[in-house]
Amino acid sequence: MQISEDILNVDNVIYVFDDRLTLVEINDAYRKFAEANLVGSQFLSKFGAGCELLQVIPAPLRPFYADLYRRALSGEVIEHDYQCHSPERYRIFRLRLIPLDDGRVIAENSLRVDTPLSGAVDLDEAAISTAYVGASGLITQCMCCRKVKAATGADRWDWVPMLIASRDERLSHGLCRVCLELYYPDTP
């Protein structure tokens, strides 16, 4: 059963998954988001319709989202707010999972808060390498708020917009303590 064009032709990112947690449909907003934020065609070839849904989720968050998706597949309507900032904007989105009569689930990601960011750290490449590249050669960025962990070993996370805009190959994902406790309180 195809999802109505009226539902798929909205500005919110929408995808549909089945009981195997496989993406079966995506809308144009999903494609546009991928093109704008995730190196479009490469992302869609790997994470478009037909892919395993959990492969899109960073590994540390897979158990959390697997639980949400399974609860939705069992008939529960789920709402979950999360941060996903751009280099210039503070944004909070809401993921809403709605079970369908045919056993699939429609997922909608809608923008809830969108304001200019403040308090950013403006550094050149050498300063970023000194302040944020860890011993492993990687830069750890919170996968929720996108703040970057200081390389000093202290639990300090800073907002560094240049690292979001540049898509630095050294970026790795983690969770800052604030986001872990706020968004995923049941995650060990």
Question: DSSP code of 12?
Answer: S
Tokens of 66: 């697997």
Say whether pLDDT at 50 is over 80.
Answer: yes
Rounded to whole angstroms, how far apart are CA atoms 119 and 173? 21
Domain ranges of the chain: 5-116, 125-183
Alpha-carbon torsion, ordered 80, 82, 116, 133, to 10 deg: 180
Going by pLDDT thresholds of 50, 70 and 90, the confidence category of residue 49 is confident
At the fourth CATH level, the homologous superfamily of domain 5-116 is: PAS domain (3.30.450.20)
* 70-77 long-range contacts, CB within 8 A, separation 24+: 71/97, 72/97, 72/98, 72/99, 72/105, 73/19, 73/99, 73/103, 73/105, 74/99, 75/99
**Using one digit for the tens of pLDDT, what is the confidence trace for 137-183?**
888 888 888 888 888 867 888 877 777 766 677 878 888 888 888 77
Handedness of CA 161, 94, 63, 7 (dihedral sign): negative
Backbone region of residue 157 per phi and psi (left: phi > 0; alpha: psi in -120 to 50; beta: other values): beta
Distances (CA, A) of 52 to 3, 7, 64, 76: 19, 22, 16, 21
Question: DSSP code of 143?
Answer: T
**Using one digit for the tens of pLDDT, what is the confidence trace for 67-115?**
999 999 999 999 999 888 777 788 889 999 999 999 999 999 999 999 8
Give residue 40's pLDDT: 47
Q: β-strands 89-99, 105-116: how paired?
A: antiparallel
Give residue 43's pLDDT: 65
What's the per-residue H, E or C state across 30-52? HHHHHHHHCCHHHHHHHHCCCCE
Say whether pLDDT at 65 is over 80.
Answer: yes
The 139-142 sheet, strands edge to edge: 157-158, 148-149, 139-142, 171-174
Give residue 101's pLDDT: 92
Least confident among 38-47, 109-118, 121-130: 38-47
Give residue 28's pLDDT: 86
Rounded to whole angstroms, how far apart are CA atoms 173 and 60? 9
